[in-house]
Amino acid sequence: MAPRLGFLCRWGKEKDPQKGTPVVVTMEKPNFSVVEIDGPDAAFRPVEKSRGKNAKQVTWVLLLKANRAVGCITWLLTVLWALLGTIKKRLIYRQGVAIEGGKLGRGKLLFGVIRVFLVTSIAILVFEILAYFKGWHYFQNSNLHIPQASELQGFLHSLYVAWLTFRADYIAPLIQALSKFCIVLFLIQSVDRMILCFGCLWIKYKRIEPKIEGDPFKLDDVEGAGYKYPMVLVQIPMCNEREVYEQSISAVCQIDWPRDHLLIQVLDDSDDESIQLLIKAEVAKWSQKGVNIVYRHRLVRTGYKAGNLKSAMSCDYVRDYEFVAIFDADFQPNPDFLKLTVPHFKDNPELGLVQARWSFVNTDENLLTRLQNINLCFHFEVEQQVNGVFLNFFGFNGTAGVWRIKALEESGGWLERTTVEDMDIAVRAHLNGWKFVFLNDVKVLCEVPESYEAYRKQQHRWHSGPMQLFRLCLPAVISSKISTWKKANLILLFFLLRKLILPFYSFTLFCIILPLTMFVPEAELPVWVICYVPVFMSLLNILPSPKSFPFIVPYLLFENTMSVTKFNAMVSGLFQLGSSYEWIVTKKAGRSSESDLLAAAERDSKTMNQALIYRGASESEISELAHLKEHKEVVSAPVKKVNKIYRKELALAFLLLLASLRSLLAAQGVHFYFLMFQGVTFLLVGLDLIGEQMS
């Protein structure tokens, strides 16, 4: 008879439900052996609980699972909604970034396109669900015609053959003709760059540079002392320059020049009263130190910088001065600036302008500043220096230069007709026979824009203004009395080739034709056009700044993508569009590489001169300075920086790189097309070009 183990098993399970308790069973008959049982056999194990569940328990389990599914879907929708909100804030509304109200509507177009695409996708999904419930999914509807595979293949084949025929007969010839025209312009501009580089090498080899004979500032020469220190007027135009006004005024006030032969004009166009008070206090501080400095403020900012300079030159006391030096608000001239520039005017009555070179304090701030340094170094050391040596003419840079006031007056003075008043006065002075001198070894510290948005606005003004000026001054150039060679240089090289042709062919060839060759292989560009010549030209551009050689690939892509902005600006200036009259002050950061530039003035203002300022000031000035001190003590709340994504530029640069690689591989016999990948990339670029315009 088998032993009964039910009670023992239950007793063992109650003691330890996880592990069975060993049970020793002793049988009375000796023919049975002693058996040690660690746990019940499979036949004696309890039945699973799920087998005994009733309908109510199953319902609760299903409800629990449904609750979890709904919670998961809700969480996914919440995450998707938060992601869309983040994209909307960062790419469209840009929270934390101050923008004009009119620019907001431009960014909504792309978001609307994305919204339409999303709604279309949802509609297709709803249609699929309805089709499923209608029975179309199982092809149970006899009235529904379902195309066979042969029909689809035949239709697609016919469509593809029609596309190939249309592409070869109509699209490819147009692209080839336009590409040949742009290649010719590209070669002409490349030859011009090479000639400028050879001219720069010749200047270096022959050591050609403007020199001053003797030492015009010898102390033992008393007879010519009056001429050696002529009357010089220094102008500092600014507008809402909170970050840089102090260092600029301090640097100019420390220029080594007799104080009775020097007058400093601070031309403030600021519309912020707190900034006006700060600038007034800085002017008052240096005035108390004995510096001949005045503060001027216009109530109406007409004509922008040109109107500001024109208003300052209309003062009666300006007639007592012979030269005028101009410095923008972020420029910090060295104390010997006037002694290195003004003597060039001596015994040279035809000289109207002496231009110094810019030197940047923030070239290593980020990749954008490094790429800007490449272009600006080439501009000053190659373009300006070669034109100054061989032609005695170049475009005035608007700052860090000294003008003969007589040259300004005979050329018509400052005009408010364009946003490039510096180039305007330079062209008119050149037409009147005045010569220019560029000093490559005299450098003035300044800043380059550190943000891409500020750089784009600056480039828009620099490329729309010349085209606007070209329309206005072309009749004057043709009817002027200068030589035919100078007229041709001014029209063909200075304006057309370097200001119009360059952005046109760069945009058309590298931003339109090159991406199209991915889809139209019949219009393949030569390898030397998309690779060898651009790399060679980039190497020539980097020669004046050899430390920038590691950035040659980003520089190539950067220049090609920036051609979109430059082309847009060129068209707006050529056809007198509304954006060609925009003037937005370039944002500065207030960087300073010379630590001792302001140290002496700061120490003096905190010690011995503080009492002098208040003792020599009137009650109204004292109250104004006290009010100013309160403004300076107010700490502005930190502005949260937003990592803005410039999709158009990044996508276009990536597309150009992809097109170049594909063309190179095709030239080597590797013919393959990432059709899906290229199509999606091209679609994104097209949507972004149509959509948001980040001005």
What are the residue numbers of the active site? 269, 422
Angle at 229 between CA 226 and CA 234, to 5 degrees: 135
Q: Taking Cα atoms as reference points, which of 54, 618, 34, 329 lies closest to residue 22?
A: 34
Neighbours of 384 (CB within 10 A): 21
3-state secondary structure string across 72-97: HHHHHHHHHHHHHHHHHHHHHHCCCC
3-class DSSP assignment, residue 325:
strand
Amino acid letter, residue 528 = W
Distance CA 283, CA 272 (A): 17
Q: Is 519 buried (19+), middle (13-18) or exposed (0-12) by CB count in 10 A?
A: middle
Residue 357 C-beta-side C-alpha neighbours within 13 Å: 20
Task: Note whether 469 and 430 are within 8 A (CB).
Answer: no
Integer Rg of the chain from CA: 38
- Residue corresponding to tokens 């503060």: 295
Give the integer Cα–Cα distance in Å for 391 and 389: 6
- Tell me the three state secondary structure of residue 354: strand
Q: What is d(CA 636, CA 192) in angstroms, rounded to the nearest whole number? A: 50
Q: What is the DSSP string of 223-273?
A: TTHHHHS--EEEEEEESS-TTTHHHHHHHHHT--S-GGGEEEEEEE----H
Using CA atoms, how far residue 160 sits from 153, 170, 682, in Å, is: 10, 15, 20
CA distance 564 to 572: 12
Inter-axis angle of helices 533-542 and 367-378, nearest 10: 90
Tokens 């199953």 correspond to what residue? 58
* Measured CA distances, 130 to 127, 133, 141, 168 (Å): 5, 5, 13, 43
What are the DSSP calls for 514-544, one per residue?
HHHTTT-GGGPPPHIIIIIHHHHHHHHHHTT
Q: What is the dihedral of CA 94, 95, 97, 100, to 10 degrees?
A: 70
Please tell me the distance from the alpha carbon of residue 254 to that of residue 594, in angstroms, as a whole number: 14
Q: Output the CA–CA distances (angstroms, integers) from residue 402 to 232, 330, 343, in the order listed.
A: 9, 17, 11
Closest CA to 308 of 270, 267, 275, 273: 267
358 — phi, psi (to 5°)? -90, 145
d(CA 242, CA 274): 9
Q: Are 398 and 422 in contact (CB under 8 A)?
A: yes
Would you give the distance in Å from CA 281 to the centre of its chain? Answer: 34
Whether 185 contacts 504, CB under 8 Å: yes
Q: What letter would DSSP give residue 35?
A: E
Which amino acid is it at 22? P
At position 694, the amino acid (one-letter code) is: M
